[in-house]
Amino acid sequence: MNRKRNISGFGKRLVRAAVIAGAVAVLQSGSAGAMTAENYRMYDEYLSRVYQGLTEHTGIADMAAIGFGQFDFSLTHVSYDNAYYNIDEFGYLFRDLDGDGTEELLIGPAETSAAGSVYELITIADGKLTYVIPNCGARWRYYLCTGNVLQYDWSGGAAYSGWEYYRYADAKLTLIEQVMYDYMTGQANGTGPYYYATVEGHEADSGSMSTITEARANQIQAKYTAQTLEYVPFANYEADSQEARKAFDGAETAEQTAVAVGTVQTIGQLTYKVTGQSTAAVTSGSSAAGKLTVPSKVTIGGSGSAATFTVTEIAAGAFAGNTSLTSVKLPKSVKKIGVRAFAGCTALMKAVTGNGVTAIGNSAFKGCTALKSVTIGKKVKTIGKAAFSGCTSLKKIAVNSTVLKSVGKNAVKGIYKKAVIKVPAAKKAAYAKLFSKKTGFKATMKIK
């Protein structure tokens, strides 16, 4: 498992060019889940900060402040008297590790001699950059193996080390298997010194790992072969990123202008309308049944002219009168729930507005007589008039918002007489005033 590390020199710009061409092709294909120019810009903003720090020889502490340096190779990867990172030591590449259409960003050595080395693995989850690898160091390192398995090697000294193998998906690592070498435990217990487990959090000295032979340990390690990763050196970043920006700007413009604002399309149980260059609204869900999770993205258009849009609104009356919908969950991307959006949905029992919603329209859930619980997201500022009026079974409203400013007249009129409205502790007094008598709040109800 020993790997010689030789960090110097420059990579090939052709690698980046190929990435750009491939990504633009994906953008223009309009396929569901495809990498978007928006995602690449998020990565590019991060890479730009790192590049600037490297070229200016920014100190390690300052680099960590901008998100770079989850790893610490203080012995072999830091120059300038161990105070600065050096630009010719690092490179980057994009790779879709879990096949979901969103490419991950990998940071690693600028030459291929350190096979498979990954210093940082970053993805985009819930619209923001997310670190997947917690840290790396001189004695704890990650390698990308065939099959996109991540191998984590760590060492606590000559008598204590381990090899862990992870599958990456959905912005997290899931353990496949691990081998541990613990000489001291082996000596103390007369077992080992090699141990094996398929569940995280186990230690050899706890007795929760199986004892295996050295031959078996070697056999497990031999299953995983480090890939050769051709990182684009940061020394080439500036010229390559300018080329990428131009390519993505053109592709995104072509993608979004291919589908006109106002275009309406039914996909599955929902009908969508394009409301802007990159946004869409749900305009009808009259045929939706059972439990429904509204997607954050939707691809609208036909062959050769499809584009992906962010769902930002549940339009007025979109689900009104639906008697088959039992629960609805909205994504973070939805900002607004329109007037009478779910009014008269008499089978609806549970509603979660999502943490992107800022406004719940007038009569949005009026007359949902089976509705038992509602979760109001963290960004809701206004609850409209009669929003939950006539929801006779509504016993629990969880208000997660700390920015609520107004609750409309009759908003909770006619809900269960002993209903409980749970609010953030710091807002209890303020929100007790918002849920006044005019909103339909009764003395038998509680705010807690």
Q: pLDDT tens across 333-359, in order?
A: 999 999 999 999 999 999 999 888 999
The reply to whether 286 and 228 lie within a common domain is: no
Per the domain annotation, does 252 fall within a domain? Answer: no
The reply to whether 267 and 178 lie within a common domain is: no
Per the domain annotation, does 249 fall within a domain? Answer: no
Per the domain annotation, does 182 fall within a domain? Answer: yes
**Residue 127 backbone zone (phi > 0: left; psi -120 to 50: alpha; other: beta):** left
Residue type, 352: V
Is the confidence at residue 429, as pLDDT, over 90?
Answer: yes
Q: Tell me the average pLDDT across 26-44.
A: 54
Q: How many CB atoms lie within 10 A of CB 268?
A: 11
**In 3-state terms, what secondary structure has residue 313?**
strand
Please report the pLDDT score of residue 80 as a whole number: 32
The reply to whether 95 and 215 lie within a common domain is: yes
What would the pLDDT profile of 105-155 be if each residue is shown by its tens digit? 898 887 655 678 888 898 888 778 888 887 676 678 899 998 889 999 998
- Strand runs labelled E in 61-159: 71-72, 90-95, 104-109, 117-118, 120-125, 128-131, 136-137, 140-145, 149-155
Q: ∠41-44-48 over CA atoms, to 5°?
A: 140
Last residue of a domain, one of 184, 209, 242: 242
Q: Which of 146, 150, 147, 174 is nearest to 163 (CA)?
A: 150
- Report phi then psi at 228, rounded to 5: -95, 115
Please report the pLDDT score of residue 81 as a whole number: 34
Is the confidence at residue 42, as pLDDT, over 90?
Answer: no
Residue 411: CATH number of its domain = 3.80.10.10
Per the domain annotation, does 254 fall within a domain? Answer: no
Predicted structure pTM score: 0.49
pLDDT category of residue 271 using cuts at 50, 70 and 90: very high
Q: How many CB atoms lie within 10 A of CB 352?
A: 18
Per the domain annotation, does 6 fall within a domain? Answer: no
The reply to whether 117 and 204 lie within a common domain is: yes
Q: Which range among 20-29, 77-86, 275-284, 413-422 has the greatest average pLDDT?
A: 413-422
Residue type, 186: G
Please report the pLDDT score of residue 76 as a whole number: 34
Is the confidence at residue 9, as pLDDT, over 50?
Answer: no
Q: Which range among 49-58, 71-80, 142-151 has the greatest average pLDDT?
A: 142-151
What's the burial of 390, exposed, middle or buried (CB within 10 Å: 0-12/13-18/19+)?
Answer: buried
Q: Tell me the C-alpha distance between 71 and 120, whole Å.
A: 7
Output the CA–CA distances (angstroms, integers) from residue 92 to 69, 249, 321, in the order listed.
Answer: 13, 21, 52
Total of domains in the chain: 2
pLDDT category of residue 437 using cuts at 50, 70 and 90: very high
What would the pLDDT profile of 298-340 be if each residue is shown by its tens digit? 988 876 677 888 999 999 999 999 999 999 999 889 999 999 9
The DSSP-derived string for 326-394 is EEEE--TT--EE-TTTTTT-TT--EEE--TT--EE-TTTTTT-TT--EEEE-TT--EE-TTTTTT-TT-
Dig out the tokens for 40 from the structure: 């690449």
The reply to whether 266 and 234 lie within a common domain is: no
Per the domain annotation, does 327 fall within a domain? Answer: yes
Q: Which of 325, 341, 322, 336 is nearest to 292 (CA)?
A: 325
The reply to whether 190 and 284 lie within a common domain is: no
Q: Which residues contact 437 (CB under 8 A, 6 or more apart)?
A: none
Is the confidence at residue 27, as pLDDT, over 60?
Answer: no
Per the domain annotation, does 1 fall within a domain? Answer: no
Q: Tell me the C-alpha distance between 371 and 210, whole Å.
A: 51
pLDDT category of residue 192 using cuts at 50, 70 and 90: confident
The reply to whether 54 and 120 lie within a common domain is: yes
Please report the pLDDT score of residue 15 as a whole number: 33
Q: Which domain holds residue 182?
A: 13-242
Last residue of a domain, one of 190, 213, 242: 242
Q: Tell me the C-alpha distance between 35 and 12, whole Å.
A: 23
Say which residue the tokens 């809900």 belong to. 415
The reply to whether 376 and 237 lie within a common domain is: no
**What is the residue-averaged pLDDT of the chain?**
80
The reply to whether 215 and 266 lie within a common domain is: no
Q: Which residue has the higher pLDDT, 28 or 276?
A: 276
Per the domain annotation, does 422 fall within a domain? Answer: yes
Is the confidence at residue 12, as pLDDT, over 50?
Answer: no
**How does strand 140-145 pair with strand 149-155?**
antiparallel
The reply to whether 97 and 235 lie within a common domain is: yes
Q: Which residues contact 127 (CB under 8 A, 6 or more apart)?
A: 332, 333
Is the confidence at residue 256, as pLDDT, over 60?
Answer: no
The reply to whether 192 and 125 lie within a common domain is: yes
Least confident of 98-102, 312-316, 361-365, 417-421: 98-102
The reply to whether 75 and 131 lie within a common domain is: yes
